[in-house]
Amino acid sequence: MAGNLELLGSVLAGAKDEGRAALVGYLPAGFPSIDGGVDAMTAMIEGGCDIIEVGLPHSDPVLDGPVIQTADDIALRGGVKIRDVIRTVGEVHARTGAPILCMTYWNPVDRYGVERFAADLAEAGGAGCILPDLPVQESEIWRKAAEQHGLATVFVVAPSSRDERLAKITAAGSGFVYAASLMGVTGTRESVGQEARELVERTRGTTTLPVCVGLGVSNATQATEVAAFADGVIVGSAFVKRLLDAEGDTEAGLAGLRELAGELAEGVRAAR
């Protein structure tokens, strides 16, 4: 099976045709368990997410704040392996038909084998990879493997990225550009703000790829704010928090995810 880069593109284009931003939800694989994670991500799609990012739990997640670190720790203590992450991608895609990406730091991919990782992710029906710590200038080996298997390579840009650097990053990427709304780690914020809007405008000056904004969006009001200027709104910590708050009550956790996805989906539609 080829990767689902085209599916990712069509879902983002479809949202644009509807006059709205796409809603992208994130959860780490293996949280609260491997099968529980598949059920949780399925519930997020049922609630209104268009796209899912499956996190590959990492012991030293440089971009992730305390909420996602807690979930990663639960997944790692539960014994999650890379093959479980790839299986999660495959099962969520098979259940929902939605584009599913893997968000991972570079070290696990490098250790697993670049070609093998790309091949296995594509075989599972994955749409691509978000690689927050892979420098563009060191990314050729991955990009070749991803292109060969029909996978998107999504790079992260930040408010500190200068225009010249933005142009290099966006020229190398595919699928969409992940715009980090602020300097710092993932987590919910009171405001997402002006920095994100300016970053999206500068990024659009270098590429025709959709620009999706993450880091800090946690409720419908913020989703509406970001959806007014971005092609996609990425929400992670708020979904993780809903599951953590359920304290092991499976049905309450799934209901909470569906509810939050529904509120955020209304938020992205209210923006236009």
By annotation, the residues acting in catalysis are 53, 64
> Taking a C-beta distance cutoff of 8 angstroms, is the pair 104, 123 a contact?
no
Kind and range of the H or E run holding 94: helix 82-96
Sign of CA dihedral 195, 201, 205, 207: positive
| Whole-angstrom distance, CA of residue 151 vs CA of residue 250 | 33
3-state SS of the chain: helix, strand, coil percent to 5?
55, 15, 35
Tokens encoding 263: 């509120």
| Whole-angstrom distance, CA of residue 148 vs CA of residue 27 | 27
Kind and range of the H or E run holding 177: strand 177-180
